[in-house]
């Protein structure tokens, strides 16, 4: 795919993912135009003032809850990356209808606007919390996944195709435990919810590059899942603050001990490639099966979980993951380096 000929729109473009995606797009792929679609004028202003400016970049104020505004924004757009979401688990639990309006109805609006505008490819970002969800955030992202996959049925005879990328925790993203641990280190005590807890981890740049690659390769109907390492929350805490006391505060509502990226039911419709899995739609035999003969089927009962993952971060790899956030803390907040 020649990105230089494409107009790209990013919903939630002022978020952690959106900014990194746009940075890499402008520096390495030089698309014809990139549109930042988000609802916060201050964040757009701050983004522009931080250096995100130029003749190929546009800022478009709008909310994914507003279908008409999305239709206007997508006029002439070739590629849509749907990253807008309410993602904080406690906030979604306390404000359930707001999570539904943004994460489910907003995703439906993205689908409708893309179909009407004749967008070529639409890639939605999902999360490991969408698999066997135990909180509302995960449930809304599961619903959004289903919307995107099944909406390929509405695109029959047109160019528009929909797919999803599903991955785990992004190191240092907003709400991540890494900046929290770095702040708590000054008090000599880190709070963890459960010493047994494990999580999938990847860097923001790894997530962005995976999304770019999958957008290039997508045929429509797939859910792309990268093979990424796990880490124990205790190991993360000990690397950040080896001398700090660990206080176990208990699992919060809607939290899991271990995350799942592919469950045993999905595994029956999944093929394994060298560095990722591709979940094919199990209920629609007439689309989404272009990868069937390009990977290996998974064995019965296969589950891809953070607890049983064969790939784990070493202490040195954890240090490498968190190094940029140590630097930010040291330079920006006067926090001493460990």
Spatial separation of the C-alpha atoms in residues 14 and 18, rounded to whole Å = 6
Q: Which helix (H) or strand (E) holds 231?
A: strand 230-232
Spatial separation of the C-alpha atoms in residues 220 and 204, rounded to whole Å = 24
Q: 256 φ, ψ to 5°? A: -110, 155
Buried b (16+ CB within 10 A) or exposed e, 269-284: bbbbeeebbbbbbeee
Say if 314 falls within a structural domain.
no
User: In this model, does residue 334 exceed pLDDT 60?
Assistant: no
Spatial separation of the C-alpha atoms in residues 314 and 174, rounded to whole Å = 24
331 Cβ contact partners less than 8 Å away, ≥ 6 residues apart: none
Q: Which helix (H) or strand (E) holds 82?
A: strand 79-82
Spatial separation of the C-alpha atoms in residues 64 and 140, rounded to whole Å = 14
Per-residue pLDDT, averaged over 287-296, amounts to 85
- Residue 338's pLDDT is 35
Say if 37 falls within a structural domain.
yes
**Residue position matching structure tokens 């993360």:** 236
Say if 336 falls within a structural domain.
no
Q: What is the pLDDT of residues 158-173, one digit of tens each?
A: 999 999 999 998 886 7
**129 in catalytic set:** yes
Spatial separation of the C-alpha atoms in residues 338 and 332, rounded to whole Å = 15
- Residue 329's pLDDT is 57
Say if 105 falls within a structural domain.
yes
User: In this model, does residue 258 exceed pLDDT 70?
Assistant: yes
As to burial, measured by CB atoms within 10 angstroms (0-12 exposed, 13-18 middle, 19+ buried), residue 70 is buried
Q: Which of 6, 19, 20, 129 is catalytic?
A: 129
User: In this model, does residue 71 exceed pLDDT 90?
Assistant: yes
User: In this model, does residue 262 exceed pLDDT 60?
Assistant: yes
SS3 133: coil
User: In this model, does residue 335 exceed pLDDT 50?
Assistant: no
Q: How confident is the model at residue 252 (pLDDT cuts 50, 70, 90)?
A: confident
Q: 126 φ, ψ to 5°? A: -120, -165
Q: Looking at mean pLDDT, say which of 119-133, 174-188, 269-283 comes out highest.
A: 119-133
User: In this model, does residue 241 exceed pLDDT 70?
Assistant: yes
Question: Among 24-28, 155-159, 230-234, 296-300, which stretch is predicted with the lowest mean pLDDT?
Answer: 155-159
- Residue 303's pLDDT is 97
Spatial separation of the C-alpha atoms in residues 23 and 27, rounded to whole Å = 6
Closest by Cα among 160, 119, 172, 164 to 143? 164
Per-residue pLDDT, averaged over 26-36, amounts to 97
Per-residue pLDDT, averaged over 224-249, amounts to 94
Say if 14 falls within a structural domain.
yes
In DSSP terms, 271 is beta-bridged to 278, 297
- Residue 331's pLDDT is 55
Q: How confident is the model at residue 321 (pLDDT cuts 50, 70, 90)?
A: confident
Query: Are 179 and 325 contacting, i.e. CB atoms less than 8 angstroms apart?
Result: yes
Q: How confident is the model at residue 282 (pLDDT cuts 50, 70, 90)?
A: confident
- Percent share of the chain, pLDDT over 70: 95
Domain that holds residue 287: 3-169+202-228+261-305
Count of domains forming the chain: 1
User: In this model, does residue 180 exceed pLDDT 70?
Assistant: yes
**Beta strand segments in 12-69, E:** 33-38, 57-61
- Residue 10's pLDDT is 98
Instruction: Give me the helices (H) in 25-119, please.
Output: 41-49, 67-73, 89-94, 96-99, 106-117
Spatial separation of the C-alpha atoms in residues 19 and 96, rounded to whole Å = 27
Say if 239 falls within a structural domain.
no
297 Cβ contact partners less than 8 Å away, ≥ 6 residues apart: 270, 271, 272
- Tokens standing for 14? 């002022």
CATH of the domain at 13: 3.40.50.720
Per-residue pLDDT, averaged over 256-271, amounts to 95
Q: How confident is the model at residue 136 (pLDDT cuts 50, 70, 90)?
A: very high
Spatial separation of the C-alpha atoms in residues 123 and 75, rounded to whole Å = 17
User: What DSSP state is assigned to residue 312?
Assistant: B
Spatial separation of the C-alpha atoms in residues 65 and 47, rounded to whole Å = 22
Q: What is the pLDDT of residues 206-233, one digit of tens each?
A: 999 999 999 999 999 999 999 999 999 9
Say if 337 falls within a structural domain.
no
Mean residue pLDDT across the chain: 92
**Residue position matching structure tokens 């930042």:** 36
- Residue 323's pLDDT is 85
């Amino acid at each position: 795919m020649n990105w230089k000929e494409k107009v790209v729109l990013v919903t939630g473009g002022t978020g952690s993912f959106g900014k990194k995606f746009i940075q890499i797009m402008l520096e390495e792929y030089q698309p014809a135009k990139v549109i930042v679609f988000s609802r916060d004028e201050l964040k757009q202003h701050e983004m522009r003032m931080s250096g995100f400016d130029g003749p190929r970049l546009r800022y478009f104020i709008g909310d994914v809850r507003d279908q008409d505004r999305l239709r206007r924004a997508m006029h002439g757009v070739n590629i849509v990356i749907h990253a807008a979401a309410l993602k904080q688990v406690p906030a979604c639990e306390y404000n359930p209808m707001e999570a539904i309006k943004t994460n489910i109805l907003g995703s439906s609006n993205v689908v409708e606007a893309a179909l009407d505008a004749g967008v070529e490819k639409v890639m939605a970002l999902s999360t490991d919390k969408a698999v066997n969800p135990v909180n509302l955030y995960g449930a809304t992202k599961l619903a959004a996944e289903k919307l995107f996959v099944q909406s390929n049925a509405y695109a029959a005879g047109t160019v528009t195709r929909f797919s999803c990328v599903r991955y785990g925790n992004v190191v240092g993203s907003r709400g991540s435990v890494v900046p929290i641990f770095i702040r708590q280190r000054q008090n000599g005590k880190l709070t963890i919810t459960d010493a047994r807890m494990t999580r999938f981890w990847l860097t923001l740049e790894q997530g962005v590059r995976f999304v770019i690659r999958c957008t290039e390769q997508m045929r429509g109907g797939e859910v792309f899942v990268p093979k990424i390492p796990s880490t124990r929350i205790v190991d993360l805490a000990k690397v950040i603050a080896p001398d700090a006391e660990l206080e176990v505060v208990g699992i919060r509502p809607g939290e899991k001990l271990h995350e799942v990226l592919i469950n045993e039911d999905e595994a029956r419709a999944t093929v394994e490639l060298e560095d990722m899995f591709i979940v094919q739609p199990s209920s629609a035999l007439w689309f989404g099966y272009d990868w069937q003969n390009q990977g290996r089927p998974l064995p019965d009962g296969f589950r891809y979980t953070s607890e049983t993952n064969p790939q784990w971060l070493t202490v040195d790899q954890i240090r490498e993951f968190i190094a940029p956030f140590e630097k930010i803390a040291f330079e920006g907040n006067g926090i001493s380096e460990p």
